[in-house]
Amino acid sequence: MRLRPLALLSAAAIVATTTACVSTPEETRPQPRPSVSKEEVTPIETPDDAPKVSIVDSSPGGAKDVDPLWQGLAEAAEKKTEAYLKVYVHTGNPEVPESGETTVTADSPDSVSVTVDAKNVDDGASPFLLIHGTFDVEEIGNSAYTLKTVDDEDIPELDPKGPDDEKRCTADDAQARIGLAADDLAEDPGRREEFRQQWGGSPRVWWGIQKTAISLGEEGGVAGDFLTEACGEFLQ
């Protein structure tokens, strides 16, 4: 494997893992900020005919206040408007039937459940499932929605531009760059949309960055090796 577990590479995670030990001056000294080049971001231009609710993202799962998928579905259901989705969801059960409906739920506690036509769910990045298409949205419970397909076509103009997962995971500066993104997002969750545009082109890595940042923000440490999981396929 080319990289060490990436979830432990963020400065905040390194500090958290040393607090239970007897500190030395070297251990308590602030970790130097990695020196990496600035991210290049291509602005996303929304077509005039795109649905008002359009979610192109990786869902971190969990509570509504951190999950753009759940927030978008709630808005579409409330306003009775269509929603365009191109959303990756990390699941514990990535089996997708060949026909009929399937229910997609992130493998994080208290996540939203989405019931959708199986033909609109792609398992090519399993255990990440991709829900894609334009849908009518109906809320059937506090954390459950049913989607009815309106259109199967993707809207590529809405896709974040940038390196894909393989390029992100195998870059020479992958450890520093990905760990730094997780640290910065943990320190300032309000920058989420900026980070989505920077990292959304690599949806699995973007999921790992979010999960790591949420864990750092809530627990002060990393509860799982999310970034190594995101990159595992490319680091054999």
- Beta-ladder partners of 90: 128
User: What is the domain partition of the chain in residue ranges?
Assistant: 51-155, 159-229
DSSP track, 4-38? --GGG-SHHHHHHHHTTSPP-HHHHSPPPPP--PP
Residue 175 confidence (pLDDT): 87
Note the pLDDT of residue 193.
95
| Closest C-alpha to 109, from 58, 77, 64 | 64
Cβ atoms of 69 and 39 closer than 8 Å = no
Report, in angstroms and rounded to the nearest whole number, the Rg of the chain calculated over CA atoms: 18
pTM, two decimal places = 0.86
Nearest partner of 76 among 161, 134, 37, 163, judged by Cα: 134
In order along its 236 residues, the chain shows pLDDT tens digits of 334 444 444 433 333 332 333 333 444 344 666 667 777 788 888 899 999 999 999 999 999 999 999 999 999 999 999 999 999 999 998 999 999 999 999 999 999 999 999 999 999 999 999 999 999 999 999 899 999 999 999 999 999 999 999 999 999 999 889 999 999 999 999 999 999 999 999 999 999 999 999 988 876 555 458 888 999 888 87
